[in-house]
Amino acid sequence: MIFLRRQLPLLITLITGLLFAGQYYVPHPASEHMLTSATKWLQIIGGFALILGVTSLFHQHAAKIRRQEAGWGYSLVLYAGMLGTIAAGLWADGKESVEGAMTAFGWVYNYMMVPLQGTMFAILAFFIASAAYRSFRARSREAAVLLVAAVIVMMGRVPLGEYLIPLSGDVSSWILNVLNASVRRAILIGVSLGAVALSFKIIFGVERSYLGGGKE
Amino acid sequence: MKWTTCRVAWTLVFSVWLSSSVLAQSSVTAPQEVQVFDTPSDGGGSLTVQWAPAPSDGSDIRYQILVGEASARDPSAFAIIAEFPSNTHYIKDTETAWWTREADKTWHHVVIRSGKGIEILDGMSYAVAVATVHDDQRMFSPIVVATPSPNWINWNQLNNLIIAVSFGGLVFYSISHAKRNEIFLRRIPGLDAVDEAIGRATELGKPILYLTGAHDLHDPSTIAAAVILGKVAKRAALYETELMVPHREPMTMAVCQEITKQAYLEAGKPDLFKEDANFFITSDQFSYTAAVDGIMLRKKPAANFFMGSYFAESLLLTETGASTGAIQIAGTDSDHQLPFFVTTCDYTLIGEELYAASAYLSKEPVQIGTLRGQDIGKAVILGAIAVGTVLATVGAVTGAQWPQFVLDLFRDLK
């Protein structure tokens, strides 16, 4: 049992980890074919995992409705929305339009889903304003530097700002291309090394907490 | 007399013009030392043509690459697959390293692939010739027959492989070193605050919200987030505080369920573990964001953790969390979202600190040793950047070729 739960997953991780790390250095079509096949397998496994996710979602909200927890009405809306969309999708054979005419499924997607997503994305503009207001208050030396840099970059990125302060364009480019880019690259070097080290630990079974279970 | 002198003079001028014209034509020669071979370190379906530069190379003289069947003997009947000025297409323009270079960098170089009415198939032989074209005149090189085939190793990436293996060796050496010696670990305020955040949630009797990011388990940042979840879940179990982990990806949810379960077992509180502490919402970015924002506003968690990879939803999540007064700790390698996290969260683990978190929280020698390996790796990279900058400058100023031998070792050659 321990073999199936611990050793076998670690063995699979070791073999596939080394195989796909090596794949990067092998240009042969067989290697490309192996990668394509593995990606397809993952998509199939992902499809089955979705059943797991949807089951979890239904279970979670069914429990809320059954217990009549606070906000259980939203769970009813979720059930209605999900079952309604599945029914519309099955009815339309998964097509958004048939011979130029929009199906009910297409209508749900284009007139409900897309506007709702757009609304969520649009809220970002207000959130950026409120976050900027909070962080740009020059309460400390660091915040003051942030404020000055932000004002210069904002002035340099719009035609009016560059018209009013001609130097702002060059200074903002310098801030973005020299200061910002170098710091970003430094972060990326650290991230890459961290990711590679974590990958080594996982491949060789040093890090195994992602498997759950004890340390046997 | 005068007429005779004039005629002699004109004859001389004409002779000089004629001889210079003939000389110019004779200086244009057929391509020399033409080599055609299977392109090394590739996936097949291509041939490489290289030939020596000629003194007459210039914008007014052109080269043609001609391809025909292996048995063909007349290059003028071959298909022209490329034509370009003779002062272009050099080896120095290509991304090759000195250890895979077949000829001098000043030689001409063309790779023949399928297209333009010709299909290059592996295992089939092709006759290739190069022609020098000047005005209406074409001079052909000898025909060379070559066969393309796929290769098993990309030798251009040998430096990458050596560096990766060396770094792996360094990490494992550091782990063994850390098992024998104590290694200093600098404080990371964001991780020190984990206990504080869980304690606050316990005092207020409110739940903890933990997000694992937008990516699935392909991404190391999601795995790092799942590993940290184990530590957070253990503390939450000890303090008997409710933990909520909404997911965007079902497989991550399944893995995190196991991790959380184990954490509750290790804390000695298996009865407190709830199967639905980890739950799936949706894979859609903004639907997930709306749902999590709703949870924040309704349940008012006292501590929010944002670990893993994030995109445009980062500010929508953290700003909503900040409005509820929760203590917020973020950890991400998404450098493009870092400003939003720094602005709206109380503590932010920047980049590699996310990967360091499990070492910091567990204090296990194996984990700390990995950090030491990473630090040495960073020192090596910093050294390589400094040395590379000096060498590139010396190469540019003096025109010397030798710095390139070292610089090639650090280049990404595909």
DSSP letters spanning B198-248:
HHHHHHHT--EEEE--SS-TTSHHHHHHHHHHHHHHHHHHHTT--EEEEES
CB B233 within 8 A of CB B269: no
Highest mean pLDDT (candidates B199-203, B369-373, B407-411): B199-203
Q: What are the CA-CA distances from residue B129 to residues B34, B61, B70, B146 (Å)? A: 8, 17, 11, 11
Specify the length of chain B in residues.
Answer: 414
Query: CA of A54, closest CA in chain B: separation in Å?
Result: 7
Which of B15-24, B170-179, B213-222, B335-344 comes out lowest in average pLDDT? B15-24
Mean pLDDT in residue range B192-216: 95
Tell whether the model's pLDDT for residue A120 goes beyond 80: yes
Could you give all domains of chain B from N- to C-terminal order, each with its CATH number? 29-146 (2.60.40.10), 155-172+369-410 (no CATH), 186-362 (3.40.50)
Q: Which residue in A has a C-alpha nearest to residue B295's C-alpha?
A: A71
Q: Which of residues 85-124 of A touch B (CB under 8 A)?
A: 116-117, 120-121, 123-124
SS3 B83: strand
Amino acid at site B253: M
Beta-carbon count within 10 A of B69 CB: 14
Assess if residue A165 is contained within a domain.
yes
Confidence of residue B27 (pLDDT cuts 50, 70, 90): low
Mean pLDDT in residue range B302-320: 95
Tell whether the model's pLDDT for residue B2 goes beyond 60: no
Q: Per-residue pLDDT tens for B265-292?
A: 999 999 999 989 999 999 999 999 999 9
The number of folded domains in chain A is 1
- For chain B, report the end-to-end CA distance as a whole number of angstroms: 76
Give φ, ψ of B227 to 5 degrees: -65, -45
d(CA B279, CA A57): 7
Tell whether the model's pLDDT for residue B20 goes beyond 70: no
Amino acid at site B324: T
Assess if residue A113 is contained within a domain.
no
Residue in B255, B191, B252 with CA at minimum distance from that of residue B219: B252
A211 or A90, which is more confident?
Answer: A90
DSSP letter assigned to residue B115: B
Q: Whole-number mean pLDDT of chain B?
A: 90
d(CA B171, CA B266): 28
Q: In this complex, is the C-beta atom of B262 within 8 Å of any C-beta atom belonging to chain A? A: yes
Q: What pTM was estimated for this model as a whole?
A: 0.84
Instruction: Render B341-384 in DSSP notation, one character per residue.
Output: HHHH-SEEEETTHHHHHHHHHH--HHHHHHHHHHHHHHHHHHHH
B379 or A146, which is more confident?
Answer: B379
Tell whether the model's pLDDT for residue A59 goes beyond 70: yes
Q: Which of residues 34-73 of B touch A (CB under 8 A)?
A: 41-44
B305 or A208, which is more confident?
Answer: B305
Mean pLDDT in residue range B132-138: 91
Assess if residue A12 is contained within a domain.
no
Confidence of residue A41 (pLDDT cuts 50, 70, 90): very high
Domain that holds residue A154: 136-207
Tell whether the model's pLDDT for residue B215 goes beyond 70: yes
- The answer to whether the CB atoms of B315 and A134 lie below 8 A apart is no
Residue B339, pLDDT score: 87
* Percent of residues, chain A, with pLDDT higher than 70: 96
Say what the ipTM of the complex is. Answer: 0.88
Collect all residues of chain A within an 8 Å Cβ-Cβ radius of residue B247: 53
Tell whether the model's pLDDT for residue B201 goes beyond 50: yes
- The answer to whether the CB atoms of B247 and A53 lie below 8 A apart is yes
Assess if residue A109 is contained within a domain.
no
Q: What angle do CA B67, B71, B75 make, to 5 degrees?
A: 40
Assess if residue A80 is contained within a domain.
no
Q: In this complex, is the C-beta atom of A12 within 8 Å of any C-beta atom belonging to chain B? A: no
Mean pLDDT in residue range B335-362: 89
Residue in B226, B286, B278 with CA at minimum distance from that of residue B257: B278
Segment holding B265, helix H or strand E: helix B250-266
Residue B413, pLDDT score: 77
Residue B365, pLDDT score: 86
Name the CA dihedral angle for A30, A33, A34, A35, rounded to a multiple of 10 degrees: 130
Collect all residues of chain A within an 8 Å Cβ-Cβ radius of residue B150: 27-29
Residue in A118, A83, A85, A117 with CA at minimum distance from that of residue A104: A85
d(CA B288, CA A150): 31
Q: What are the CA-CA distances from residue A33 to residues A27, A37, A45, B148, B265 (Å)? A: 10, 6, 18, 19, 43
Residue B10, pLDDT score: 54
Residue B24, pLDDT score: 46
Residue A2, pLDDT score: 75
Assess if residue A51 is contained within a domain.
no
Residue in B354, B292, B352 with CA at minimum distance from that of residue B326: B292
Instruction: Render A93-104 in DSSP notation, one character per residue.
Output: TT-SEETTEEPH
CB B59 within 8 A of CB B87: yes
Please enumerate in sequence order all residues whose Cβ is within 8 A of that of A186, keeping only pairs 6 or more positions apart, or say none. Answer: none
Collect all residues of chain B within an 8 Å Cβ-Cβ radius of residue A74: 294
Assess if residue A102 is contained within a domain.
no
* Percent of residues, chain B, with pLDDT higher than 70: 93
Assess if residue A64 is contained within a domain.
no
d(CA B408, CA A78): 57
Residue B15, pLDDT score: 47
Which of B107-111, B322-326, B407-411 comes out lowest in average pLDDT? B407-411
Tell whether the model's pLDDT for residue B22 goes beyond 50: no
Query: CA of B80, closest CA in chain A: separation in Å?
Result: 28
Distance of CA A174 to the CA centre of its chain: 30
SS3 B145: strand
